[in-house]
A and B are shown apart, each in its own frame.
Chain A
Amino acid sequence: MNQEKTNDMILQTVTKLVSFIILLFSFYLFLSGHNAPGGGFVGGLITSSSIVLLLLAYDLKTVKAILPVNFIYVAGMGLLIAILTGAGAFVFGAPFLSHTFGYFHLPFLGKTELATATLFDLGVYLVVVGVTMTIIQTIGEEE
C-alpha cells in the first residue's frame, strides 16, 4: 500500500459503538424469526454486516486478531448443526426434520416457548455468517 495513512478516528470511534448495536439487532432478528419477520438468514447477514463495518473501519489483520476463527469451519459447523437437528428426529422414531417445542420456566424470562426449529435456524445463521465472511475475506486478501 503506497497510500497515505489517514486518520480515521471518527469512523473508528463510531464503528466501535455501532457495530455492537448492529450485532444486538441481528441477535434480536435471529430470535424473533418464529413469530415475526426475521430468522437465521437475515440475522446472519446482519451479523456479517457488522463484521464488514469493522473491516471497513480497520483492516483485515485487525479483524482477524479480534475474531480468530476460520469462517469456512463456521459454515461447516452450521451445516452440521442443521443436518444433525434434522437427523435428531431419528432417535425419537419421527420422520427426518420433525421439530418439536415445549414451554419452560426460565430464570428472568419466565414461561418461554423453546423450539428445536431454533437450532436449525442457528445452523442457517452460522452458514450465512461463515459463507459471507469467507467470500469477503477471500476477495479482500487477493492482490
Chain B
Amino acid sequence: MNNFVILPILIPLLAAVALIFMNKRIMLTRVFSAAASVLAIVISGILVQTVFTKGVQTLNLGGWKAPYGIVLAADQFASLLVLTTAVIGLLIVLYSYRSIGEKRERSFYYSGVQFLLAGVSGAFLTGDLFNMYVFFELLLIASYMLIVLGGTKIQLRESLKYIVFNIVSSALFVIGVGFLYAVTGTLNMADLSVKISESGQTGLITVIGVLFLIVFGLKGGIFPFYFWLPGSYYAPPTAIAALFGALLTKVGLYAITRVFTLIFIHDTQFTHQLMMWLAALTILFGVIGSIAYSDVMKIVIYNIITAVGVILFGIAVNTPASIQGAIYYLIHDMLIKGALFMLAGTLITLTGTASLHKMSGLIKRYPVLGWMFLISAVSLAGIPPFSGFVGKFKIVEGGFAQGEFVISILVLLSSLLVLYSVLKIFMYAFWGEEKETPNQEKRTAKGLLYPAAVFLLLSLLFGLGTEYVSPYVNQAAETLLNPEKYIEAVLKE
C-alpha cells in the first residue's frame, strides 16, 4: 500500500477541476496550471527515485486485493514516462501563454490540458486492462476537446475524422477486453499473465493479442493504421499539436510494450515477427512522408511516424539491448518532438506561412531560433553527443544480435533520411537571401522560444548524461524483460 502512486494522476485531475471554477480569470488559470504542473514534476521525480531504491510500487485502490480490485503499479518504465509527461505538461502550458490566444484560454483550455495529462499518467500507471481503457478514454475525450477548441474550419473537419477513428479503435479495445475476459476470467494484467502462462498461450489468445496490436496501433500510429494522424495533427494550434505529438502516440506504444512484455509472451514467434515487419513498414512510410512534403508541420508529423516505427522495432526484437534502446528512444523522442513542434510552430508564426519555398534567410533575423533548430535536427537524427544516439544504437545492436539485418539496416538508413528531411527545413528556411513573405510580422520570437529551449536543454542533458540515466533505464528494461518481478509486486501475499 502506497498512496504516493496515485498522486501523479490526482494532481492534474484536481487541478483540472479547480481550473473549471477559475475559468474567467486568465492570469489565475495560467499561474495555477503551471504551479500544478511543477508539483506534478516534483511528485513524479520522487516516485522515480522511490521505485529506483525500493522496486515496483503498487497501490490497491479502495484496499481491495490485487486480482479483485483495481491496482496501480509503478515500475520504473511507467515512472520514467510519468515524469517525462509531467515535464512536457509544464512546458506546453508555458508555451501556451504566448501562443494559444485569449479566446481559447477562456474556453477551459488549461482544464483540458490537465485532464489530458491525468489520462496519460493514469494509462501509464494502471495495472488493470479495463482501467487502462478508461484512462485512454479520459485522455481521448480531453484530446477531442483540445483538437476542436477554437472551431476553425480545418479543425472541425479533421476533428471529425480523428474522433471517428478513435471511437472505432476504442470499440475494438472494449471488444478485445471482452474476449480476453471471456477466455481468462480476469482483467488484472499481472493475473492475466499468470493465467495465460498456466493454460498456455492458445491460438485464441494469440488472436486476441493481434487484436490488441491493431487497437494500440490505431492509437499509436503504426503502419496500416496511421492514416488519420497527419491530417489530425496538422489541424490544431502548435501548442496542442506539440502536446499530441509528444504524448498521445507514445501512450499507444507504451500499451503495446506493456501488453507484449507482460501478457502475450508465450508465442513470440508469430506476434513479434508481425510487429517487426509492421515496424519496418511504419519506418518506411514515415520517411517517405517526411521527404515528400515541403510543409514544415507535415515534415515534423511524419517524423513522429518514423520514430514510432523505430521504437516498435526495439520492442519487437525483445532483447535486453533493444528494450533498453526502445526506452531511451521513447523518452528522447517525447522531448525532441515537443521541441521540434514548438520550433516549427514558431517558424510558422514568424513567417506567416508553412511552405518551405516561401521562406528563406531567417538566420540573420532569428539566429537563436536557427541554431536551436539545427541542434534539434541533429539530435533527432541521432548524432553521437545528442540524445537520439544511445537509443538507436542499442536498438540496432539488439537487432543485429538477433539476426534481423534487413530491418536494422533500414533503421540506420532511416536516420539519414530523417536528417535530410529536417535539414531541408533548416537549409530552405534559414539559409539564403532574406525574403519578405506577404504577411510576415517583424516580431521577436522571445516568449515562444523559452519552452523549446528547456526541451532542448533536457534533451541535451539526456544525451550527455547517459551515465546518470542508464541505471534507471536498465532497471526499467529489467522489469520489462522479467515480468515475474511485476507480477510478484502486484499479486504479493
Contacts and interface: CB of A to CB of B under 8 A. Distances in A.
Contacts of B63: 94-95, 98
A95 B20 contact: no
Interface string B9-24: 0100110011011000
Interface string A50-86: 0000000000000000000000110110011001000
A1 B103 CA distance: 30
Interface stretch (B54-62, B75-83, B94-102, B310-318): B54-62
B6 interface: yes
A95 B3 contact: yes
B93 to A, nearest CB: 20
Contacts of A83: 10, 13-14, 17
B14 A96 contact: no
A95 B1 contact: yes
Interface residues of B, number: 15
A96 B3 contact: yes
Given A72-B20, A76-B21, A99 B62 contact: yes
Nearest to A82: B17
Nearest to A117: B62
Contact of B10 (A80, A95, A96, A98): A96
Contact of B62 (A75, A76, A87, A97): A97
A90 interface: yes
B21 A98 contact: no
Contacts of B59: 95-96
A97 B1 CA distance: 12
Interface string A93-115: 01111110000000000000000
Contacts of B18: 80
Contact of A79 (B3, B17, B60): B17
B122 to A, nearest CB: 12
B108 to A, nearest CB: 8
Contacts of B20: 72-73, 75-76, 79
Chain A interface size, as a band, is 10 to 19
B21 A95 contact: no
Nearest to A90: B3
A95 B17 contact: no
B3 A97 contact: no
Contacts of B21: 73, 76
A36 B43 CA distance: 41
B11 to A, nearest CB: 11
Contacts of A96: 3, 6, 10, 59, 61-62
Contacts of B3: 89-90, 95-96
B13 to A, nearest CB: 6
A89 B10 CA distance: 13
A97 B13 CA distance: 15
Nearest to A94: B63
A92 B1 CA distance: 13
Nearest to A87: B10
A80 B61 CA distance: 18
A95 B13 contact: no
B258 to A, nearest CB: 21
Contacts of B1: 95
A111 B14 CA distance: 36
- Interface hub of B14, B59, B62 (most chain A Cβ within 10 A): B62
A95 B14 contact: no
A73 B108 CA distance: 12
B151 to A, nearest CB: 13
Nearest to A99: B62
Given A83-B10, A87-B10, A90-B3, A97 B61 contact: yes
A97 B3 CA distance: 10
A124 to B, nearest CB: 14
Contacts of B13: 83
A84 to B, nearest CB: 8
Contacts of A95: 1, 3, 59-63
B134 to A, nearest CB: 14
A63 B21 CA distance: 23
A87 B11 CA distance: 11
A34 B207 CA distance: 39
A136 B310 CA distance: 46
A83 B15 CA distance: 11
A76 B17 contact: yes
Nearest to A81: B17
Nearest to A80: B17
Among A83, A96, A97, chain B packs the most CB atoms within 10 A around the CB of: A96
Interface in B427-485: none
* Closest 8 A/B residue pairs (Cβ): A76-B20, A97-B62, A96-B6, A79-B17, A98-B63, A97-B61, A95-B63, A80-B17
22 contacts: A72-B20, A73-B20, A73-B21, A76-B20, A79-B17, A80-B17, A80-B18, A83-B10, A83-B13, A83-B17, A87-B14, A90-B3, A95-B1, A95-B59, A95-B60, A95-B62, A96-B3, A96-B10, A96-B59, A96-B61, A97-B61, A99-B62
Given A87-B10, A96-B6, A98-B63, 5 more contacts: A73-B20, A83-B14, A83-B17, A94-B63, A97-B62
